[in-house]
Every structure is written in structure tokens, then in C-alpha cells.
Amino acid sequence: MPRLNLISKESLPPSQQHLYEEIAAQRGHVAPPFAALLNSPEIATKVAALGEHLRYTSSIVSAEIREIVTLTTANYFNCQYIYTHHVTSARQAGVRDQVIEVIANGDVPRKLLPKEGVFVQFTRELLKEKSMRDSTFAAVNHLLGANGTIDLITTIGYYAMQCLVVNAVGIELEEGVEPLLLAT
């Protein structure tokens, strides 16, 4: 059971119900992490706007790369909710099952194609070391350019924030959804 109420549209004051609708507009619904964030409606809408830009507007970081770093981030934070919900998104974006397995198992990404493994490595180094090797940074910067590299770093930060909210609030998978993140 979540530690905070998951806010519905009806539980917001009428003057703030449009904020709920703004979050639902692009996504088609308000998922539990955003329902938790709606305990602070202004923060929720700003976080949602950043997520919308990173996920639906930015064309520099492909959906495949975004989902690789999202799964890697969720795995790092042991965030079942984000991980499980993004496995489907990852597959839809063209992420191979082998990549998902390497991320889930914490395996060394050398087994992957370089264009996949570099993003797993970049994310892991950034989260674990709070920085990364020059060679890892240079490889990603070569592939994405400065703008794309900043978008990628921001994407990792965005999903790290989402994982922290989910874990801190205690948001669990919906009934009937099978957990896909290996227990640690």
C-alpha cells in the first residue's frame, strides 16, 4: 500500500483539476507515479512536462536508446514498477531481448552490440560512479552529439527521479501485472 494517497482528479480542488488533465493528455491516463506526485500538483506538472519532452518530443535520443537507459536506471534503483512497465515499451522500441536480459542480470554489456552496450555502460557508470570514464562519455557524445548527450543525461536523471518517487512512496505493480525485474 502506498505511503501517500494517489491523487485522483476528483480529489484535487476544482481550480487544480486542469493539472491532472494536463498530465493525462499526452499519456492517456495518470499512472500511479504521477498520482503520487500530484500531492504537489505544481511539481507533478513540471515533472510530467519534462517527461513528455524527453519521451514524446525529443528526436535526438531514439526510443530504443531511451528505453535502454530507462531499464538500466530502473534496474539500478531496483524499481519494479518502472522496470516492469518499460519492458513492453522497450520491446516496442526495438530493444532486443538479449539487451533486456543483460540489464536485468547486471551482466557486462560487452555481450551486446556496441550501439546498445555503450548506453548501458554510460548509465551504469553515471549512476554508480556519479560520473563516467572519458572513453564512455566520448563514445556517447560521438553517437549523439552534445545536445543528444545532454538529453541522455537528463533522461537518466528523470527516470532516476521517477524510481526514487516510486520506491519512497511504495508504489506497487497493479493487480495482475507480473513483475519482470529479478529480485535482488
Q: What's the pLDDT score for residue 65?
A: 97
CB atoms within 10 A of CB 174: 11
Domain residue spans of the chain: 9-57, 63-169
Q: What's the pLDDT score for residue 184?
A: 59
Output the CA–CA distances (angstroms, integers) from residue 140 to 61, 91, 131, 146, in the order listed: 11, 22, 13, 9
63-169 CATH: 1.20.1290.10
C-beta contacts of 172-179 below 8 A and 24+ residues apart: 172/1, 172/2, 172/80, 172/81, 173/80, 173/81, 173/84, 174/32, 177/84, 177/85, 178/84, 179/80, 179/84
Q: CA-to-CA distance for 85 and 149, rounded, in angstroms?
A: 25
Q: What's the pLDDT score for residue 122?
A: 98
Nearest to 73 by CA among 141, 132, 125, 140: 125
Q: What's the pLDDT score for residue 41?
A: 95
**Tens-digit pLDDT string for the chain (184 aa):** 899 999 999 999 999 999 999 999 988 999 999 999 999 999 999 999 999 999 888 778 999 999 999 999 999 999 999 999 999 999 999 999 999 999 999 999 998 999 999 999 999 999 999 999 999 999 999 999 999 999 999 999 999 999 999 999 999 999 999 999 986 5
Q: What's the pLDDT score for residue 60?
A: 84
